[in-house]
Chain A
Amino acid sequence: MPPTGYAIEVNDLRKSFGKVEVLKGINLRVERGGLLALLGPNGAGKTTTVRILATLLQPDSGTAKVLGHDVVREADSVRRRVSLTGQFASVDDELTGMENLIMVARLLGYSWSDAKTRATELINAFDLAEASNRLVKNYSGGMRRRLDIAASIIITPDVLFLDEPTSGLDPRSRRQVWDIVRTLLAAGTTVLLTTQYLEEADQLANRIVIIDHGTVIADGTIGELKTSVGSGTVHVRLYDPKDRPAAEQIMAQTLGVAVHLESDPAALSAQVSNPERVASTLSNLSQAGISVTDFSLGQPSLDEVFLALTGQPAEDQPAATEEYA
């Protein structure tokens, strides 16, 4: 038995590329069988952290243990029990999906026939049967991702690293990936996933660590984080932009918070801490005779979390709030 209850333990991890300090002392822990979401904007150091944990990159200082093994001194032991699905798909574009899986299975030590059996099983489980004999370069983003994850779990790892598994995927593909991750968790695998979307962390993670410029700026459960941020943002779009001043007044009164006027002359938004008042906002607006074309309560975006945590917006943020189906 390894000495701790943690699958991943990272202490004061530091890494520089040339003069640029990319990780400035990262600390994090992931319980066995748990899922930690590592959240951060572009350039925060997510990929660097994950690559160190997956033994692809050496840290300058600090320690990282995966399943009780040091990622530098016992890299081989770590490699035997973890798997990485990188941010940029680690599959071969010039081969078919089936050939990719067979090749990786062969490199893991399977015989030709066992490799074929296992590859077929995974192709079916990951909804890739129709595309199994097409070249991967013609795959959609979602198919490529699923293939990549399939290649990572040919032998089900004890720890799986997923680096931005759903960036650039449509809602349906994103849900498929989430389903896969949930099943994997149920099978007992510990998962460390990086993402830029709070919504994704909310869907999957028990704990969230937010990093920015190579430093951890928040570490807690999703509930703890949300209380620090407010539960979300109401977005309203009016039929007639002329109604906006009136709508602003009603929203401010009902919600008891400041209302933000969007650059779209018919749109308003407000951060809410009490979701129960959101419903009354809608009825108050219609009672006042204001027609609304859009009304939604969205998760706070990573940007809003940053604003709440650091008092300033995240730099290098990718475009706008993500909306999910």
Chain B
Amino acid sequence: MTTPQTTLTRPVDDATLRKAFSVRERPARPSALSASLALAWRALLKIKHVPFQLFDVTMFPIMMTVMFTFLFGGAIAGSVGEYVQFLIPGILVMTVSMISMYTALGINTDISKGIFDRFRSLPFWRPAVLVGALLGDSVRYTLASFVVITLGLILGFRPGGGIMGVALALVILLLFAFSLSWIWTLIGLLMKTPESVMMVSSMASFPLTFASNVFVDPTTMPSWLQAVVSVNPITLAASAVRGLMHGTVTSGDIAGVLIACAVLVGVFAPLTMYVYRNKNAH
């Protein structure tokens, strides 16, 4: 099998080495897509090597679903069975929003490592580093969504939109998580330590998730709060996901979430890229 080579005297073989140093020709610069895919592959490999990191994306949604269903079910909707119909789509949106915060954490720890120097010195499309990480995260979102939906079905969730409706809802959900992540990547780049990333992200995410229609119908809220809730991207996403799952979606719901996504990406992606490009350069 492995020949016990002359490792002691000449550890690296001359001829193979010389051959290895003869590749001067440069392939064409990778496209934005293939650079992003290469980095998404990197994110998936990390999950493959340490599957335990999927623990939080399974436990967290289970806790949220069970807790809120039984905590609020009776009080808010009269019965658990009824509340589950309302809550599950909202919990889905909330769960992926929370999970997307970990992207910020990942980027923050990543950027302080040497591998980012390597990335910065390679001639590929800059945003690919972030896009790739976000694409890799879609595995986590998908897994979390399956956990929530399965649990929901057990608790009595009966989506009127059928399989097609649920599938479309998941597509919207992934798109939304991807768009929302740009807020966290910006925070991940701006903060100095992982601890401060967690603090700022949680502070931003609590009002986002609770001042929304995830848990309750906003019609009972004071009008100023209703105004806030109605433009909250989480609300827009929850309405669309709810509508698609129950087959009651309106074109307004879809337009709402798409606009929210466009605004999130339009504002936070350029900001993130600006910060990323200037990071460590001065």
* Residue contact B12 to A176, C-beta cutoff 8 Å: yes
Please tell me which one of the listed residues B21, B116, B122, B282 contacts residue A107 in the complex, with CB atoms under 8 A apart.
B122
Whether A94 contacts B46 in the complex (CB less than 8 A), given A56-B120, A125-B12, A156-B23, comes out as yes
Closest to A110 in B: B27
How far is B114's CA from A39's CA once the two chains are assembled, in angstroms?
22
* Residue contact A103 to B2, C-beta cutoff 8 Å: no
Please tell me which one of the listed residues B7, B41, B49, B281 contacts residue A56 in the complex, with CB atoms under 8 A apart.
B281
Whether A58 contacts B282 in the complex (CB less than 8 A), given A95-B46, A99-B45, A103-B38, comes out as yes
Q: What number of A-B contacts does a CB cutoff of 8 Å give?
A: 139
> Is A155 an interface residue when CB atoms closer than 8 A count as contact?
yes
Choose, from B28-36, B147-155, B253-261, the stretch at the interface: B28-36
Whether A189 contacts B50 in the complex (CB less than 8 A), given A54-B121, A179-B11, comes out as no
Q: Which of B28, B39, B120, B121 has the most CB of A within 10 A?
A: B121
How large, as a class, is the contact surface on chain B? 35 or more
> Is A183 an interface residue when CB atoms closer than 8 A count as contact?
yes
> Is A106 an interface residue when CB atoms closer than 8 A count as contact?
yes
Q: Interface readout for B97-129 with A: 1 if CB under 8 Å, 0 if not?
A: 000000000000000011111111111100010
Q: How far is the CB of A55 from chain B (nearest CB, A)?
A: 7
Q: How far is the CB of A130 from chain B (nearest CB, A)?
A: 7
* Residue contact B22 to A187, C-beta cutoff 8 Å: yes
8 tightest Cβ-Cβ pairs between the two chains A and B: A106-B38, A90-B114, A109-B27, A125-B20, A90-B118, A187-B21, A125-B16, A109-B30
**Interface pairs (25), CB distance under 8 Å:** A55-B121, A56-B117, A57-B280, A76-B123, A84-B121, A86-B118, A90-B116, A90-B117, A90-B118, A91-B114, A92-B115, A95-B45, A103-B38, A104-B118, A106-B35, A108-B26, A121-B19, A126-B17, A156-B21, A156-B22, A180-B12, A183-B18, A183-B21, A184-B21, A187-B21
Question: Which of B's residues lie within 8 Å of A, judged by CB?
Answer: 2, 7, 10-14, 16-30, 34-35, 38-39, 41-42, 45-46, 49-50, 113-124, 128, 280-282
